[in-house]
Amino acid sequence: MATYEELWRQVHNLTEQFAPLAALREALREPLDLDAAIARLRPQVEELETMIAEREAMLRELNQTVESATAYLDTVRKVVADVEVVAAPIQAEQRRVEAKTKRLAEEVAQLEKHRDRLTQAHATTVSLQQAEIRSLDAETARRQAALKQINEAIAATKSAAARL
């Protein structure tokens, strides 16, 4: 059998659980004044109506913004398509110019190699010609010395013949 304290706790717990129902029962016993309730709720209803109107206005603005953005996006898409049409021949020309530039660069590289070979050949030729000129100068100097000796011998012979 339960003790007095346990029973008291159970009653207390049940009273706490049913307290909201008891308050509701008491409130329902009193006559309901609809006009007063409507008057109390009127500011809240007006505030909700204002909020709904504001939200509807915001929704209309958002819809207009979406329509404007959609129209702008369509315009951008058209411009992009036009740019692609205009850009295609330009890109083709750019590829052609790049290919020609590459060919010209290769040609220049070949011409530079040929120039370098010609420069080297020219340097070799000049060096050989200078060596030949030095050799000819040496031969000329040797012949001039021999001619001088011959002229001296002729002069000595003429001088000896004249004394005789």
Taking CA atoms, 36 is separated from 39, 42, 50, in Å, by: 5, 10, 22
| Residue at 75 is within a domain | yes
User: Taking the CA of residue 100 as centre, how many other CA atoms within 13 Å lie in the half-sphere pointing to its CB?
Assistant: 6
What is the tally of structural domains in the chain? 1
| Residue at 16 is within a domain | no
Q: How far apart are CA 128 and CA 118, in angstroms?
A: 15
| Residue at 163 is within a domain | no
Tell me the per-residue pLDDT of 109-143, one tens digit each, with 9 for 90 and over: 999 999 999 999 999 999 999 999 999 999 999 99
| Residue at 2 is within a domain | no
Domain limits for position 73: 41-129
| Residue at 114 is within a domain | yes
| Residue at 141 is within a domain | no
Tell me the per-residue pLDDT of 14-29, one tens digit each, with 9 for 90 and over: 777 766 666 666 666 6
Tell me the per-residue pLDDT of 53-90, one tens digit each, with 9 for 90 and over: 998 999 899 889 889 889 999 999 999 999 999 999 99
| Residue at 63 is within a domain | yes
| Residue at 71 is within a domain | yes
